[in-house]
Structures are given as structure tokens and as C-alpha cells.
Structure 1
Amino acid sequence: MSQLRVGLPPLAELELHSEVSCAWLDRQGQVSREERLTLSQLGQRPKQPPLLCFLHPADSLLASIDLPPLPANKTAAAVKCAAQALMLGDSSQMHIGHSPRDASGQVQIAWVARQHLQGLAAVLKQAGLTLRGLYPAPYSLPVLPGVVACVADGHLLRRESLNSAQVEPLLGDEVDEASFAADATQRWIGPLPGWGLHGGLQQTGGEQRGWGRAVGCVALAVAVWVIGLNMYAAREARQGQQLKAQMSQRVKQAFPELPVILNPLQQARQQLEQRQKGAVDDPAQNFNRLVLQAGTGMPFMAGSVERLSYRDGVLQLALLSDANRGGNDKDWQSTLAQAGISVTADDAGWTLRPSDESSANTNEDDDSGADDE
């Protein structure tokens, strides 16, 4: 895969028409062409691969620190604390990158101002260029036995291994110890480290992607809510069908003469009305009526009746010694009175009798007949 490697000027001076050093590498990793172009000109070239950018030596702030073995999340926190002691400015304004810890416990760190990364992102976007990686200047150098060094813009660049490198101001003849090929194009062919500073630039340029992720999360939340609402509605519908089936079964058991149950509540009311109308002439229906009204109108009696007796149209309910007799709530008595049932309390419990005129007339006829005899 071909590569396009770019040496950047100082980020504080970077603009669309800034000249940069460009090197095209072929599939074998060798320099096939080298040229100086402005970012604007480079963006006008068709089918350019994503850029592998190398910072100017003045922006390549590097250091090596010793760290004990730590989990990845704690390593990042330790690197940040160590870098604060090396920075002159506010560490919160810097993006910090670091290498993995090597066998000797060394971790290579680098940092760059977030403001400069934002400027780089804006210029590349304006030029229509895509960034693939951003690295300090020495990481363009090859890795050879010993130390590889070169001079660039008044700085000495050293590379010792894949992840270890240094940048120092040039104070004298400091390249004697370096081993480096005479061909200047070799300075572009170094293997890329497994870390870099492009993460900070992606974060500064990722606000639009952040909005896209936010919209996606909202859409996912709405979809989950709709699915959950449909599931809840389906469950409620099933429970409603089950309740209707149970009501139909109970009405069928209470009124076996009904051929089919279409509306359980309405049909039950009709049957009760018919039974109440015929209760005066039929002692069995009168007993059923009293028991039914006691069960529905006196719900607090459930589990409290010790025995019941029916005689001469009167139903007596004997309660357990510790049973609740209904308290001060008299609404249920009014409900039974409206249904034609008279309720009185006695020492044993409650007495229920029909309170309609037909029952009263029947009792009067019986009394008069007894007097005649």
C-alpha cells in the first residue's frame, strides 16, 4: 500500500498556503517521489492517500518516564500525572500521547497543544485532505542498529527503537555517534510506532460525528421505548382476554341456564334482576337472593361466618367470636336496602330479611289466618 508522508511546519504558523515536505512511498516502503507543495496544492492533486504527518521538531515534545506495570486505564492516568511535571503550561490544554511500556519499564510520552491540533484539523479540512496519523518528527527516521540521527531546522533528531526517540536543540557537532545512510530520502522510511498524537486531532474534529452518535442514541432509545410499549400493550391485552374468560366461566357456573355468554357483566345483572323479581314467591330463590346479596354487599364477612340459618324467609349469620362486624361504615347497608334487603345486628351476628311490600303482605296474611283460627 502506497503512503504519503508529510513534514509539517510549526503548527502555530500553519495555514492553507504553508509549504510542506512531501514524500510518496511505494508498496515496498521506499521513497518514489519527494516534493515541496502547499497544502492547497496537495489537496488539488487527485486520488491522494490519507496523510501520515510528522510534526516540526519545535512541536515535537518528547520524554521518557519509568512506570511500574499497570492496567491500561491506570497507565494513562499515571502518564498524565508524570507529564504535568514536564509541561510549562496548563496540562488540560495539552493532548498527551504515550507508547506502551517496554521490557525495561520505559514509556515514551509526547504532547501538543489542543489549540494547535484544532488549527491543523481546520486547515486539512479546508484543503480537502484526510489525516491517517500524526507523529513527532523523529519517527520518520529508520530504525537501524545503534542510534539513528539527523539534523532538521536547528534540532537534532534521534531514534533508538520503534517507540523510543528524542528531539534536542542543536548545540554543536552531535551527530558523530549516529549511524545513518547518506541518502536523505532514507529519513522518510522509518517504521511507524504503535502510538501517536492523531487521537487528539480526531477528538477535536469529531464534534459532528458526536452529534451523529447522539442522534443515533436517541433513535435507539425511541425504538426501544416503542418496542417496550407494544410489548406492554400486548401483555395487557392478554390479561384482559384472560379476565374476560374467567368472568364468563364464573357467570356460566352461577347461571348454568344461560346457553351462551356474550357479555358476562350484563347477563349476570339480568339474571340477578330476574331472580330478585321471583324471590317473593319462591323460598329457594329468596334464600339464594339473601345469600347472594350478603356475599356481594357485605364483603367484610368473607371468612368470618361460623354458621348460617334460614327460616321463614329470614337469613341469620352467626359470626366467629373475633370477627369484624363491619365497623362504622354504613354504605353497605344502604346498598342492601336499595336491593330490598333489611339488615339488623344481634348478639350472634347479622339478620337479613326481604324488606319489600310483598313479603310484608304475605306475613300479614299468615298472621290474620292464624287469628281466624
Structure 2
Amino acid sequence: MSRLRIALPPLDELALEGPVDFARLDRSGRVNEIGRCPLGQLGKAGKPTAVECFLHPLDSLLTSIELPQLPAARIKAAVACAAQALILGPSEQMHLAHGARDGQGQVSLSWLPRSTLQALGRVLEQAGLKLQGLYPAPYALPVPLPGQLSLCLVDGQLLVRQSIGQGSVQPLVEETLEQLRASGSELCWVGNDPPLPLLQQLPVEQRWSGTPPSWGLHSGAAAGGVAVRGWGRALGCCALAVAVWVLGLNLYAAREAEQGQRLKAQMSQRVKQVFPELPVVLNPLQQARQQLAARQAGAAADPSQGFASLLAQAGTAMPFMVGSVQSLTFAQERLQLELLADTPNSADSGWQGTLTQAGYSVLREGNGWVLGPAAGQPANTVDNASGDDNE
């Protein structure tokens, strides 16, 4: 399948009736026709003709930057950040395109105003041409062999192609040629009348034979693509920000919960060390205060009677309450346990019978239990009352 290539004039001068240079290539990439005619005449066939366009040197804003080894997704962000220092004008109004990172760490990039690219797309559509590729001017030159450079002079601008992905436009022709010759590279001149006698001369047809890079500016020439792309990027950034915020909040909550559990375990261990007479620690802070108050009042701590005995029985028969006690109160030989609001009810009621057999009464009261000596109250009455309340 043959290909049509067009060398565009400056984009602000582009018009349907304006003349353009063109070339037709066969399916093997050889140039079989070169000419110049009005742009509107190139698309007179019945269906849109696919075309590859090469920008004028004045519109070929082309450079390269050096980047470290990065994932492909981050190269785009790094290029956009670096391009902000190179672009003259608001970066959001520019369409930026770049290639992949080569072996020397170089990434080629080019940019043009979005409005200019859309105007180009409309003119080509009016001419009956379908834009297949849009590249800076140097990429029309043949890809040089290693150690060589392809050169061409177009409207007073020197086009230089270093490789499949690298090229440049140099306005200072003589100075650039001297520097390139001093670098030791073999210079291949495309066209007639090379400016230096040592240049290797290639036929003028070779100006059109270059293999284009894997990237280009043609995606920005689609009319109406700016708004959709801009909103999509904004929505994507918002979704990413929300996801990062939610993830961070969940991690923070999990870390705080883990730290709280660790602190509670340390407090229980410390209270157990200071008050070894306590058989079980259900609420470390409150139990420590009660023990300190009892010592200051001169009360004897007897683990076989009173508070310690009730606490030991509760800890043995009711292990499901460990870590779930909101507060505990001991008065008149009765121990009242107030549970946390979210403490689930125990499905096993056998522990009530264990306490009854040990001589203690168990009563359900609010969101907790009251334990005390069973004197004056039959054991079966305690079980029935607590069991009915549990239901």
C-alpha cells in the first residue's frame, strides 16, 4: 500500500489553496513520486486519503531530556514536569508528546498549542485527508547508521537526525556544522550542494524516506478531544486523591487500634505486677485506684474474702468479660460489673450454675452483672432470674 507524505508550511499559513511539497512512497518505503501542488488537490479521491505530515522547522518544537530509569507510567509525569520549564505559555493549552527512554537515558519530546493542532485537523479534513501521523521535520530524514548523522537544509533551518527517536532543528547552520564535524560523526547530506566538501551526499528523494518514530503529535489534532481529555484527567486525579485519603485513614485507624490494644495489655500487666493479690485484671485503671485507696485506708487485702474473692470467681467463671468491662464497683460485699456497650451476650449460661454452686448469686442489671454471696437467696432463684433476664 502506497503512502502519502506532506511537508507542511508554517501552520499559521496553512490553507486549502496553499501549495505544499509532497511525496508518494510504495509499500517498501521507496519514493516513487515527488511534487508540489495545492493541499486541496491531494485529497480528491473518493474516500479520505491517509497522510503522514511533517511540520515546518519553525513549528518543530523538538528537544530531548535526560531521565533516570523509571516505570512507563512515571515517565509521562516526569516529562510533563520537565516540559513546564521549556514551554513558553500556559502548559495546559499545549499538547505534549514524547517517546520512550533510549539507551543513553534520553527522552525526545515535542509540543504545540492544542488550538493550532485542531485547526490543522479541520483543514486536512476539508481537503479529504485523514491524518495518520504528525511529526517534527527532522523525522522525514532517513535514519542514519551508528556513527552517522542525516542532515538537510529547509528554509534556512538545519535539520539533524541522530537516530530513530532523536532529531533536532538548528537555526545556526554554519556553527552547528562545524561542531558536528568536530565531534567525529560521519555527516550525510540529503539534497544538492552540500555546504562542506567532506559531507556524504544523498539523493534529494531521501529527504522523504525516513522511518517515523513510535510517537507523534497527531493525537492532539482531533477536534473536541481537549475537553474530554481534560475532564477525564481531572476526574482521575480526584479519584486517586480520594483513594489515597481513604487508604491512609484506614491505615491510621488500624495503627491506632493496635496501639490501644498494646497499651491496654501493658497496663494490665503492670497492675498485676504491682498488686499480685488481684486474681484477674478486668479494668486495670479502676482496679489500681481501688487497691491504692484500700491501702491508704489501711484495709487488709485478703484474697479469700470480700472483693478479691468475688473478683477471682468472676474472672474464673466469666472469662468472656476480660477486656470488656467498662467499670466495676464493690460495695456491701457485692461486685457490680458494668460492660462496654458493644459487648456481645454470651450464648453459654453454664457459668451461672458454676457460680451458684460456689455460693454466689448472679443478677443481670442493666448492661452488666451483679455478683455477691448467695446468703439469704436460694441458688435456683438466682439462676432463674438471671437466665430469664439473659433471654
TM-score by length of 1: 0.53
Alignment match of 2:170 (pick from 168, 171, 177): 168
The whole-number CA distance in structure 2 between the counterparts of 1:39 and 1:209 is: 30
What letter matches 2:137 in structure 1?
A
Match of 1:192 in 2: 212
Compute the displacement of 1:30 (Å): 0.8
The whole-number CA distance in structure 1 between the counterparts of 2:113 and 2:37 is: 25
Cα 1:143–1:11 change in 2 (3 A) is same
Q: Deviations over 1:313-351 (max 9, x none)?
A: xxxxxxxxx9xxxxxxxxxxxxxxxxxxxxxxxxxxxxx
Match of 1:304 in 2: none
The whole-number CA distance in structure 2 between the counterparts of 1:207 and 1:84 is: 18
The whole-number CA distance in structure 2 between the counterparts of 1:86 and 1:173 is: 23
Compute the displacement of 1:98 (Å): 0.4
What letter matches 2:126 in structure 1?
Q
**For the Cα contact (< 8 Å) 1:121–1:205, is it kept in 2?**
no
Cα 1:209–1:46 change in 2 (3 A) is farther
The whole-number CA distance in structure 2 between the counterparts of 1:50 and 1:208 is: 26
Cα 1:93–1:128 change in 2 (3 A) is same
Match of 1:79 in 2: 79
**For the Cα contact (< 8 Å) 2:188–2:202, is it kept in 1?**
no
Compute the displacement of 1:94 (Å): 0.9
For the pair shown, the structure with the greater C-alpha radius of gyration is 1
- Name the SS of the counterpart of 1:191 in structure 2: coil
Match of 1:179 in 2: 188
**For the Cα contact (< 8 Å) 1:3–1:49, is it kept in 2?**
no
**For the Cα contact (< 8 Å) 2:170–2:176, is it kept in 1?**
no
Report 1:287-306 matches (<5 A).
none
- Name the SS of the counterpart of 2:123 in structure 1: helix
Unaligned 5+ runs, structure 1: 211-321, 323-373
Compute the displacement of 1:172 (Å): 2.5
Compute the displacement of 1:170 (Å): 3.5
The whole-number CA distance in structure 2 between the counterparts of 1:191 and 1:66 is: 23
Report 1:81-230 matches (<5 A).
81-145=81-145, 146-172=148-174, 174-175=176-177, 177=181, 178-180=187-189, 181-202=201-222, 204-206=223-225
Compute the displacement of 1:143 (Å): 1.2
Report 1:197-346 matches (<5 A).
197-202=217-222, 204-206=223-225
Q: Deviations over 1:257-298 (max 9, x none)?
A: xxxxxxxxxxxxxxxxxxxxxxxxxxxxxxxxxxxxxxxxxx
Of 165-174 and 148-157, more deviation after overlay is shown by 165-174
- Name the SS of the counterpart of 1:150 in structure 2: strand
**For the Cα contact (< 8 Å) 1:150–1:175, is it kept in 2?**
no
- Name the SS of the counterpart of 1:186 in structure 2: helix
The whole-number CA distance in structure 2 between the counterparts of 1:198 and 1:89 is: 21
- Name the SS of the counterpart of 1:196 in structure 2: coil
Alignment: residue pair count? 210
Compute the displacement of 1:117 (Å): 0.4
Cα 1:171–1:182 change in 2 (3 A) is closer
The whole-number CA distance in structure 2 between the counterparts of 1:208 and 1:40 is: 29
Unaligned 5+ runs, structure 2: 182-186, 190-200, 230-363, 365-391
TM-score by length of 2: 0.51
Compute the displacement of 1:175 (Å): 4.3
The whole-number CA distance in structure 1 between the counterparts of 2:13 and 2:171 is: 20
Compute the displacement of 1:2 (Å): 1.3
Match of 2:43 in 1: 43
- Name the SS of the counterpart of 2:6 in structure 1: strand
Cα 1:158–1:37 change in 2 (3 A) is same
Match of 1:25 in 2: 25
The whole-number CA distance in structure 2 between the counterparts of 1:171 and 1:106 is: 24
The whole-number CA distance in structure 1 between the counterparts of 2:96 and 2:108 is: 11
Cα 1:193–1:209 change in 2 (3 A) is same
Q: Identity over the aligned pairs, expressed in percent? A: 50
Cα 1:123–1:196 change in 2 (3 A) is same
